[in-house]
Amino acid sequence: MQISAVRHPRALVISLNGRLDALSADETLQTVLTHLGDEKHLVLDLHGVDYLSSAGIRVLLVLAKRTGSSPDGHFAIALPTPTVRRILCDSGLDACLGLTDDLASVAD
């Protein structure tokens, strides 16, 4: 998994590229949490994620809870690939994870 972070005006945008599965989930979560620090506004750019397993879904839920549960926090998933979008929609998580195809609307 390749991970990069860029600060935008309204949120920290973390881009993930690769497979978010059992092999990469724990390291991905720890790396994202390190980048996140005390930040309460997180957008995950998943345009480069080509596979999402249940372990990857757990990572998304942990991050959503970490940022979205704060009164002034915000969490969104931007630009999910069709495969990832289908997985999240089929599991019923699309509504609670804030999927968007417009990165600027949630980050800038």
pLDDT in tens, 3-17: 999 999 999 999 999
**Distance from CA of residue 24 to its chain's centroid?**
14
Per-position pLDDT tens, the chain of length 108? 999 999 999 999 999 999 999 999 999 999 999 999 999 999 999 999 999 999 999 999 999 999 977 788 999 999 999 999 999 999 999 888 989 999 998 888
Amino acid 69: pLDDT: 77
Domain ranges of the chain: 2-107
| CA distances to 15, 19, 59, 60, 88 from 56, in Å | 14, 9, 5, 7, 11
Answer for the pair 67, 73: CB distance below 8 angstroms, yes or no. yes
∠ CA 90-52-69, rounded to 5°: 75
Structure tokens at 8: 């935008």
pTM for this model (two decimals): 0.93
Q: What topology is assigned to 2-107 in CATH?
A: Transcription Regulator spoIIAA (3.30.750)
pLDDT in tens, 92-101: 998 889 899 9
| CA distances to 6, 7, 29, 70, 105 from 43, in Å | 10, 10, 14, 15, 11
